[in-house]
Amino acid sequence: MRPPLFRLAGITKSFGATRALAGVSFEVAAGEVRALVGENGAGKSTLLSILAGAHRADAGSMELAGAPFAPNSPRDARRRGVAMIHQELAIAPDLSLAENIALGSEASRWGVLNRDAIRGRARESLARLSDEVLDVDRPAREFSLSVQQQVEIARALSSDARVLVLDEPTSSLGPADAERLFRALRALAGRGLAVVVVTHFLEELPRFADSFTVLRDGAVVAEGPISEASPERLVRAMSGRSLEMFFPRVPHTAGEELLAVEEPCGSSATDAPGISLSVRRGEILGLAGLVGAGRSEFLRRVFGLDPPGAGRVRVGGRELTRRHPRESIARGLGLLSEDRKTEGLAQGLSLEDNLTLSALEPYARWGWLSLRRRREAAGAWLARLACKPADPRARVAELSGGNQQKVAFARLLHQGAQVLLLDEPTRGVDVATKAEIYQAIGEEAARGKAVVMASSHFPELLHVCDRIAVFQRGRLRAVAPASQWSESSLLAAASGVAP
């Protein structure tokens, strides 16, 4: 066994009362590619941010080539040889490939760039990744995402990284580009780098990894050589737990069909085969999938926020014709955005402005608002959802994430939506508020509303929904009653492992 180049021992990290990591240990040898897998919320992102120096561990230690490694910033981590490639690439689109690779460590003399040295170093680093010859003088924006990713890896190489950490590197790559990346990773390992890859796509593991580590609830629950990593074992390890969370259940019964969506083949950018879904009154349909599986995009197309393509949407049997949020709202649809901060709510405005923005007509006569009536109505909605503070004049930015989500949810109810399209309704929300939101969703179903709820958190889908549809890479893989799904079967379908 080769001696480890990079070693983590007992890494522990808590945020407030939540323990994100509870004593994580693993090691990577020079020349080894280790896959790090786990469900959303298992602690992968926290672990990565500690490796990269963005956060400090509460306890535990890290060693790089036998010496203690405790970076105090991402820059420090990179300087000492640990480079991180994030899911969102850090590329300056208007700079050339060579300039991008040199970014932050430009060869210069007295502030004047040494262009030849920059080009040379760029070509050299890129050559270590693939045989393809690229014109390093052309701006990065002219190249594919895959090339831009290679540029970012090359940047790490040119700053003499010894450990390379990649977060979900294949989530936005096609199969051919993913294959190219795997070859590059193998080549790097061949040159003695230690590589850690976080991924959701279990079926890819054997193609690039030597070993695997499974995280669950902030701890390592399985690890070993890749030959022992059967998809079944990984899925069991990732999901096998009893959830102690409290899911209030409000009895509700399904009535007539309220929303029906038909999207023919190739209607979306991902060239997906047809998606056909319907939801009945008093029914909660869950949309499961991994990050980037196309659930949000589906909801946004239905609501008319993104171009709907050739898809057709019927609400109560009547087809939507204009496919614009205004029409959707008028016809009883409501969308809760997954991005609360920049889209879901106008942070600088008051609660009453945010709550009533989608339906001001009830308070208006000839366009003039009755501010008093509006304030009373907003106050009543905030009180009904137990929002704190319940002062309609408070600004959204003053509220906690959970209370902000209540405001966003209240807006849908206020506008009289009969079909609630909820995109990650409990993201960034504390546990107590989560339970309140599940309760509210159940109550609305009991009032005869149709609910579609996209979530990356399988336990909540299993407990809250009546039926669950699984998306994978833009496609609808399967739909079945929630009782027929388990966490492992959902994960398997969402990762593309199951039949």
Residues that bind another protein (CB under 8 A): 305, 324-326, 328-330, 335, 337, 339, 342-349, 353-354, 356-358, 360-361, 364, 367-369, 371, 393, 411
State the DSSP string of 422-491.
EESTTTT--HHHHHHHHHHHHHHHHTT-EEEEE-S-HHHHHHH-SEEEEEETTEEEEEEEGGG--HHHHH
Could you tell me which of 174, 236, 143, 393 has the C-alpha nearest to residue 133? 143
Query: How far apart are CB 48 and another protein at their closest, in Å?
Result: 28
Token pair listed for 159: 């700053």
Query: How far apart are CB 390 and another protein at their closest, in Å?
Result: 15
Phi, psi of 451, deg, nearest 5: -120, 130
Distance CA 182, CA 209 (A): 9
Q: Nearer Cβ to another protein, position 297 or 353?
A: 353
End-to-end CA distance of the chain: 37
Q: Nearer Cβ to another protein, position 337 or 488?
A: 337
Q: Nearer Cβ to another protein, position 114 or 358?
A: 358
Query: How far apart are CB 313 and another protein at their closest, in Å?
Result: 15
Query: How far apart are CB 407 and another protein at their closest, in Å?
Result: 11
Q: Nearer Cβ to another protein, position 257 or 327?
A: 327
Could you tell me which of 431, 446, 476 has the C-alpha nearest to residue 278? 476
Query: How far apart are CB 467 and another protein at their closest, in Å?
Result: 26
Query: How far apart are CB 401 and another protein at their closest, in Å?
Result: 16
Q: Nearer Cβ to another protein, position 94 or 124?
A: 94
- Rg from Cα positions in the chain: 25
- The answer to whether 216 and 225 are in contact (CB under 8 A) is no
Query: How far apart are CB 356 and another protein at their closest, in Å?
Result: 8
Burial 255-290 (b: 16+ CB within 10 A, else e): eebbbbbbbeeebbeeebeebebbbbbbbbbbbbbb
Question: What beta strand segments (E) does 41-153 contain?
Answer: 59-64, 67-68, 82-85, 108-109, 112-113
Q: Nearer Cβ to another protein, position 96 or 356?
A: 356
Could you tell me which of 274, 282, 276 has the C-alpha nearest to residue 260? 276
Q: Nearer Cβ to another protein, position 384 or 393?
A: 393
